[in-house]
Chains A and B, each alone.
Chain A
Amino acid sequence: MNKKLRIGVKSITGCAGCQLSLYFIEDVLLELLDKIDLVAAPMIKSKNEEEYDVLFIEGSVSSQDDLDNLLKFRKQAKFLIALGACASHGCMQSMKHLMNEKEVEKDVYNKFPSDKRLKPITSVPIHKHVKVDFYIPGCPPNNEEIAQVFKWLVQGKRLKVYDKAVCHECSLKENYCLLDQGIECLGPLMNGGCKALCPDYNHPCTGCRGMLDDANLKSGKEMLKDKGFDPDMMIKRMTKYNALQFKEFEKPPEESK
């Protein structure tokens, strides 16, 4: 029999909700106990080891501590998975990319000038600093999807992230499109895999799973304008989770050919 997979879960700046979603699949984890060893899971056990076959990381890189830890984690992990919106796309912390960073910092951190730990750095998803082998996006990530990834891992199957627009799952459910009801849904620009959870409950999609790799932002903006939505408000919505992606779509970084 093969050796058990050494699995770890580590956290940098985030709300810890992604980790929690992972522990919500306890039934699957129990079933897999003969195939995996949860060697690091600080939220649920006190004795934690290092060196991992697979390491899940939640949170974005938002402080020097985060960065040091992340670089260390990468060295310790054979396969690294970004768990959740912060690790995958930057999430709320990265809204700073569209603001004046110095001013934001002044407003928040100057209240505690003596605490060096609170010196932030520009907040980014983890792939900006290390190689990421797989992403489980979402705020929080869907526990069924996490369970699926665990199954694939122990089966040695290639992992596959859902890469179709939110509108697809929404249409498969025959939902009455929110755009046709005057509600500012961003589904056509965003990655699905959530089973159109928000539109299903008449709540517009704000893109917690990131923008599509080939999101047509220009047309998306025209669409929202045509439908009469306030452009500033729409940019705010679009960038709630995806400020960095938004910025890069607007102005692609030099290195990407």
Chain B
Amino acid sequence: MGKVLEKKRLNEFLSKVSKGGDLIAPVKRDTLRFEIVKDFNDICLEGRPLFPVKKFFSPAKEDLFNLNLTNKNKPFDEEKIKLKPRVIFGGRLCDFNGLLKLDKLFLSEEYQDDYYKLARENTLLLGINCDPAPSEYCFCESMDLEKYYDLFFHDMGDKYYIEAGSEKGKTLIIDLEDYDFTIPSIKCEKKLYTKDISKYYDDSAWDKENDKCLSCGKCTAHCTTCLCFDMIDELEADVKHGKRFKEWDSCQFLNFTEVAGGAIFRKDRINRFKHRIYHKLQYFREKFDMDMCTGCGRCIESCPRLIDFTEVINNFKD
């Protein structure tokens, strides 16, 4: 059983839960983006931002440490990030499932990313249900999403039904009125018929979509779960000062797999395309026992050629 909140009390509720921190929500300017909200009236729940929330946990460009060789005692100075507590409101189930996948990686003992961890620990996730699906490219219904959020809102016309998904979430709504309701599951027009693609690496269905690919990297930049990055060292002219930073990269680029000596492992575009999809549906599963894809469809929607890997998979010959 959950709780209920009248819509006219939403802003009051959001301002209470985000007190002393930042509220992040979809805001519409030229287009819809997740932003730090300055005016509650800017929040827009019509549609779904094409850019996912990963940037709040691992920004497109992030400094890691500064180098100063003139300071003998402390030549390396790690970037200290100070983070205000944050509340993301209006994320969709796929957005937060994207974080679930990234958590598997960046909160794991083996690959823990301290910056990511700090950002995760300081952020509350308040989702909103999709009824109907906001984009024709959504296919999350096929992707077994989990209830991964602190709170989840469902629009009931003049009020929201709210369900807690964590202990923290429960305390946020403890004062609200009880309400008995079951949130309907999300329905999508688009479907992915199978997620087991291991036998189809050489299927001819890959070619048609791949021929359209421009290797522009928009699919991965917009993907809810892609966080591949390049590590870059920059030295000042004096060769004493510098910094190391990371910047998002993409396996769709020709030189992503370049190694010392100049060899490139995935020269052919088709191998890059296949790598992207196999990473999402097979390699990640082999490690973490879940898909890396949330079915958000952003890779399709953002692609200049609307390249759709569900079309490939749904057309494998049996």
Binding site for B on A (CB under 8 A): 28, 31-32, 35, 148, 150-151, 154-155, 157, 163-165, 167-168, 171-174, 176-177, 179-180, 187-189, 212-216, 218-220, 222-223, 226
Q: Is B197 in the interface zone, CB < 8 Å from A?
A: no
CB proximity of A6 to chain B, nearest CB, Å:
17
Q: Are B218 and A188 in contact (CB under 8 A)?
A: yes
Measured in the bound complex, the distance between the Cα atoms of B306 and A179 in whole Å is 12
Given the contacts A167-B216, A171-B222, A188-B214, A177 and B248 also touching, CB distance less than 8 Å: no
A176 CA to B254 CA in the complex, in Å? 25
Task: Return 15 A-B CB contacts under 8 Å, by A number.
Answer: A151-B235, A151-B236, A154-B239, A163-B254, A165-B216, A167-B218, A168-B217, A168-B218, A171-B217, A171-B302, A172-B60, A176-B30, A189-B214, A216-B215, A219-B214
Q: Is the CB–CB distance between A31 and B217 below 8 Å?
A: no
Asked whether, in the complex, the Cβ of B247 is within 8 Å of the Cβ of A214, the reply is no
Binding site for A on B (CB under 8 A): 30-31, 33, 51, 55, 60-61, 211-218, 221-222, 234-239, 247-250, 253-255, 269, 302, 304-305
Could you tell me the distance between the alpha carbons of A174 and B239 in the complex, rounded to whole angstroms?
33
Q: Would you call B238 and A172 a contact (CB within 8 A)?
A: no
The 8 closest A-B pairs by CB, nearest first: A171-B221, A188-B216, A176-B31, A167-B216, A172-B60, A188-B214, A165-B216, A168-B217
Smallest CB–CB gap between B225 and chain A, Å?
15
Additional pairs, 20, CB under 8 Å, beyond known A164-B250, A220-B214, A226-B305: A163-B254, A165-B214, A165-B215, A167-B218, A168-B217, A168-B218, A168-B253, A171-B217, A171-B218, A172-B61, A176-B31, A177-B304, A179-B304, A188-B214, A214-B215, A214-B254, A216-B212, A216-B215, A219-B305, A223-B214
Question: With a CB–CB cut-off of 8 A, which chain B residues contact A216?
Answer: 212-215, 269
Taking the closest CB of chain A, its distance from the CB of B213, in whole angstroms, is 7
**Taking each of A157, A167, A212, A218, which has the highest tally of chain B beta carbons within 10 Å of its own beta carbon?**
A167
Out of B31, B217, B237, B304, which one reaches A164, CB within 8 Å?
A: B217
**C-alpha spacing A223/B305, complex, angstroms:** 6
Q: Are B237 and A150 in contact (CB under 8 A)?
A: yes
Min distance, Cβ A192 to any Cβ of chain B, angstroms: 9
Query: What chain A residues lie within 8 Å of B254 (beta carbons)?
Result: 163, 212-214
Q: Report the separation of the CA atoms of residues A154 and B305 in the bound assembly, to the nearest whole angstrom.
A: 43
- Chain A residues lying within 8 Å of B31, measured Cβ to Cβ, are 176, 180
Shortest distance in angstroms between A186's beta carbon and chain B's nearest beta carbon? 10
Q: CA–CA, A32 to B318, complex, Å?
A: 65
Q: Report yes or no: B305 in contact with A163, Cβ–Cβ below 8 A.
A: no
Give the CA-CA distance A167 to B238 in the complex, in Å. 33
Chain A residues positioned under 8 Å from B248 (CB to CB) = 172
- Contact B237 A154, beta carbon cutoff 8 Å: yes
Take A164-B250, A176-B30, A179-B304 as given contacts and tell me if A212 and B217 are in contact as well, using a CB distance cutoff of 8 Å: no
Bound Cα distance A176, B110 (Å): 36
> What residues of chain B lie closer than 8 Å to A157, measured between beta carbons?
235
Which residues of chain B have C-beta atoms less than 8 A from A171's C-beta? 217-218, 221-222, 302
Q: Whole-angstrom distance from the CB of A82 to the nearest CB of chain B?
A: 19
State how many angstroms separate the Cβ of B238 from the closest Cβ of chain A.
Answer: 7
The chain A residue with its CB closest to the CB of B212 is A219
Q: A218 — which chain B residues lie within 8 A by C-beta?
A: 211
Return B234 CB to nearest CB of chain A, in Å: 8
Which residues of chain A have C-beta atoms less than 8 A from B61's C-beta? 172
| Residues A222 and B212 in contact, CB atoms below 8 Å apart | yes
A-side contacts of B216, CB under 8 Å: 165, 167-168, 187-188
Scoring A35, A168, A216 by chain B CB atoms within 10 A of each residue's CB, the highest score goes to A168
Residue contact B237 to A219, C-beta cutoff 8 Å: no
Name the residue on B nearest A32 (C-beta). B237
Closest to B55 in A: A174
B307 to chain A, nearest CB (A): 9
Return A36 CB to nearest CB of chain B, in Å: 10
Chain B residues with Cβ below 8 Å from A187 are 216
Within the complex, the shortest CB–CB distance from B216 to chain A, in Å, comes to 4
Query: Which residues from B are CB-within-8-Å of A223?
Result: 214, 304-305
- Taking CB atoms, residues of chain B closer than 8 Å to A154 are 237, 239
CB distance from A208 to the nearest CB of B (A): 17
Complex Cα spacing A172 to B236, Å? 25
Please tell me if the beta carbons of A31 and B269 are within 8 angstroms of each other in the complex: no
Complex Cα–Cα for A189 and B304 (A): 11
Enumerate chain B residues within 8 angstroms of A219, measured Cβ to Cβ.
211-214, 305
Do the beta carbons of A151 and B237 come within 8 Å of each other? yes
Cα distance A214–B31 in the bound complex, in angstroms? 30
